[in-house]
Chain A
């Protein structure tokens, strides 16, 4: 059964764009092992004859036509911005 060590947990946190203190990470590893024990119950199931379904219910998904319709105004979209300037979202400088 899969288990996780603190290094893997640190890597996972980085992938998840989340920060944890060392203590939080240690607690997390202990909890995570218990969760993995639970999810490992699927190991015993024989799936050799099962082909993968990509969609739970429908095989006939239809896409709607690509027609231009009225949408949000710039003002509406920017209304929830944490920081905005001159009609744009403000982000830190990414290119020097």
Chain B
């Protein structure tokens, strides 16, 4: 029995039936991380803590105690999520020795649910990037084909689940950083509604857009994870005071009578033909099973990327101003005074892409440009959000590709940051509007690389994503 290939749902049953212990399973996962080190999906493992947690879980199970929904299951979290006693580097030289004195709420929720956190995943530095090539700890490789990028910024979180090192992982998504790597690695990636999951303890990139989500191998597993992660948190005032349903129960097995919105703007000439064909087949499958297709219009979609880069960079510049080499992080060796200490520490600690975004952020916030860029971007954000709200008056879910192409080769876009930015055109609008979305595997193209289908739902309607996603997953072999 290859336990590592099981879904989270399946392995949970096996643990419950005592077919395997959590300690055995945790060791299998840690061995797998070691034997697939070439992927560079993990920045650091927390072996001792993990084995200890697994032992406690096994003992509690033996005693017949009531266990949490993720009891004994090995998971990985992105390295921008604080976990007590572990390094939280954000894949930056600046934080290479930073040891978390506290748990992020999402990490605490995993622990409370019994999960065994085995490692911290590689990522683009401070979550800025779409390929996990901007990591101070080396590039991460795509498990499907190691010559290709895994996507980013949560590339390590996607790769760990795709390469069977863990059963689920946490990532963060500011402009597509969960959905794009999920699409590139052939796994399920969920970006919940802004406010659905607490951001407390997650190192901020762009606070009004960041959202914690998860990677899994099935849609049902994603629902199980969100059941654990969702909910209001007193420590994050942007977390929503909205009832959390049982997401697993939202999977009904039927899409009959449901309406799928299709926006022509998501199917422009920029879309790769093979990707388009796969998505169209999936839409047809829904239609053949009783769903209705409706045309919707999102006329301002082409401005979303600009809005994203203005708002996210402005917030990043502000959030990253705290990194000054005084209280934590890298401190430069030779400096003349305090201000020089800031200059030198920041210059040595941050990578190129982070510097680029700080500069852009300070530019759009500086006097003379604030109205033309930042204030205007906030207004266009409102227009985009309203267009989605209007669209959802006509449909239950919007379907589109997650990315215009499949994964690209390592190094292919490194010298062209704009081409890299354009990679996010289908994912960014979702963050701009604060909506929930999921990327699910949708076949492959001729070179064997996976395609991702993106499902977008109205605010706090993650149930719809799980129901539609699970339906496709179960029926995909029919096409």
* Chain A positions near chain B (C-beta within 8 angstroms): 2, 4, 9, 12-13, 15-20, 28, 31-32, 34-35, 38-45, 47, 50-53, 55-58, 61-64, 72, 76-77, 79-83, 89, 91-92, 94
Contacts and interface: CB of A to CB of B under 8 A. Distances in A.
Contact of A64 (B194, B237, B307, B385): B237
A4 B363 contact: yes
Interface string B361-400: 0111010010011011111111101000000000000000
Contacts of B241: 62
B344 A82 contact: no
Contacts of A32: 359-360, 363
B344 A12 contact: no
Nearest to B355: A18
B442 to A, nearest CB: 28
A43 B302 CA distance: 12
A43 B193 CA distance: 28
Interface stretch (B246-254, B256-264, B328-336): B328-336
B324 interface: yes
A76 B325 CA distance: 17
Kindly state the interface size class of chain B when it binds its partner.
35 or more
Given A12-B363, A47-B380, A18 B358 contact: yes
A52 to B, nearest CB: 6
A12 B326 contact: no
A57 B309 contact: no
B342 interface: yes
A18 B234 contact: no
Contacts of A4: 363
Given A50-B382, A62-B237, 16 more contacts: A2-B369, A2-B372, A9-B359, A16-B355, A17-B343, A18-B350, A20-B347, A38-B305, A42-B376, A45-B380, A55-B208, A56-B209, A58-B240, A62-B241, A80-B327, A83-B331
B306 A42 contact: yes
B347 A92 contact: no
Q: In this complex, which of A4, A17, A32 has the most chain B Cβ atoms within 10 angstroms of its Cβ?
A: A17
B194 A16 contact: no
Contact of B346 (A18, A39, A51, A53): A18
